[in-house]
Amino acid sequence: MIEISPIGVVSSPLVSAASAPRQGDEGAPDAWLEFDAAVATGLADLAPGQEVLVLTWFDRAARDVLAVRPRGDADRPLTGVFSTRSPDRPNPIGLHRVTVLEIDGLRVKVNNLEALDGTPIVDVKPVLGGVAER
Amino acid sequence: MIEISPIGVVSSPLVSAASAPRQGDEGAPDAWLEFDAAVATGLADLAPGQEVLVLTWFDRAARDVLAVRPRGDADRPLTGVFSTRSPDRPNPIGLHRVTVLEIDGLRVKVNNLEALDGTPIVDVKPVLGGVAER
């Protein structure tokens, strides 16, 4: 077993899966990432305008699901979850590509986040540019 | 606390961090993803030629590191880990964009994987195309 310690939590107007878009670029709202003080040093180089990958833990997902109908569409065949972005999967890690809009201490505002209010944040990574830029 | 259950393990010629490239597209070798039989249903729709995101757990990383010199370069300033791809970070989840080369039952061969031999696999996700293709 591997233990994840959340580093923060999502603060969002989205409170139920029924109201959430399926992906961030399908109309998801701005949201605040509220980080724990313990990880402040790790946040020091984030800045508005940067594109980052936010990793979350879909704490309301079903972990015993291995096949779904994509996008909840009854006309689509059952598909192995590793070929879908369904939140229901053995380890429900959410992967969100967003842009940093604003930083206020331990709070970071981002756009296009489809994670629900209260979702734990587990990591943030930069979007990698080409090899020469690294 | 959140518990991750690995779904498989990486089988790779890379056995030490010193021999591993820093990113998959910087000369990383082909590797086999060896999945547990329990998740076979989730793998059913993977096929050679697909681009996927493999999420791993860097089990040899240091979790108490919040700032690093990028790429281990002593000339670069200490940088918050959430602005780097360092494996050393509070929750050392690896994110690897690879292409599926071959499938043999529960074993999936991929290219460009910089994870070390024995690294736990925690999730696989498709690379998302444009909104109209979903």
* Among A45, A90, A122, beta carbon nearest to B7: A90
Tokens 């370069």 -> residue: B73
Percentage helix, strand, coil for chain B under 3-state DSSP, each rounded to 5: 15, 35, 50
| Domain around B48 | 8-127
The CATH number of whichever domain residue B123 belongs to comes to 2.40.30.70
Does A134 map to a domain? no
Q: Is residue A52 part of a domain?
A: yes
**How do strand A31-35 and strand A8-11 relate by DSSP bridges?**
antiparallel
pLDDT-derived band at A124, boundaries 50, 70, 90: very high
The reported pLDDT for the residue numbered A35 is 98
| Helix, strand or coil, per DSSP, at residue A102 | strand
CA distance B5 to chain A (A): 6
Assigned domain for A71 exists: yes
Residues A11 and B91: their CA atoms lie apart, in Å, by 20
Task: Tell me the average pLDDT across B23-49.
Answer: 95
Cβ–Cβ pairs < 8 A, chains A and B: 150
Is pLDDT of A128 > 90? no
Q: How far is A69 from chain B (nearest CA, A)?
A: 12
Averaged pLDDT for residues A75-97: 96
A1 belongs to a structural domain = no
d(CA B85, CA A133): 13
- Cβ burial B20-56 (10 Å sphere, 16+ → b, else e): bebbbbeebeebbbebeeebeebbebbeeebebbbbb
| C-alpha–C-alpha distance, residues B76 and B105, integer Å | 45
From CA A119, how far away is CA A94, in angstroms rounded?
A: 10
pLDDT of A46 over the 70 cut: yes
Reported confidence tier of residue A33, pLDDT bands at 50, 70, 90: very high
φ/ψ of residue A81, rounded to 5: -60, -25
Confirm or reject contact between B123 and chain A (CB < 8 A). Answer: yes
Q: Which tokens belong to A96? A: 């969100």
| Residue among B4, B84, B128 minimizing CB distance to A91 | B4
Whether A60 and chain B come into contact, CB under 8 Å, resolves to: no
Mean pLDDT of B8-32: 91
Residue written as token pair 């499938």:
B103
Asked whether residue B88 is assigned to any structural domain, the reply reads yes
d(CA B64, CA B45) in angstroms, rounded, equals: 38
For the entire predicted model, the pTM comes to: 0.94
Dihedral through CA B21, CA A81, CA A2, CA B101, nearest 10? Answer: -30
Cα three-residue angle B87-B74-A35, rounded to 5 degrees: 45
- The count of domains in chain A is 1
What mean pLDDT value characterizes chain B? 94
**Reported confidence tier of residue A134, pLDDT bands at 50, 70, 90:** low
B132 in reach of chain A (CB within 8 A): no
Amino acid at A25: D
pLDDT tens per residue, range B53-63:
999 999 999 99
Q: Which of residues 79-108 of B touch A (CB under 8 A)?
A: 79-85, 89-91, 93, 95
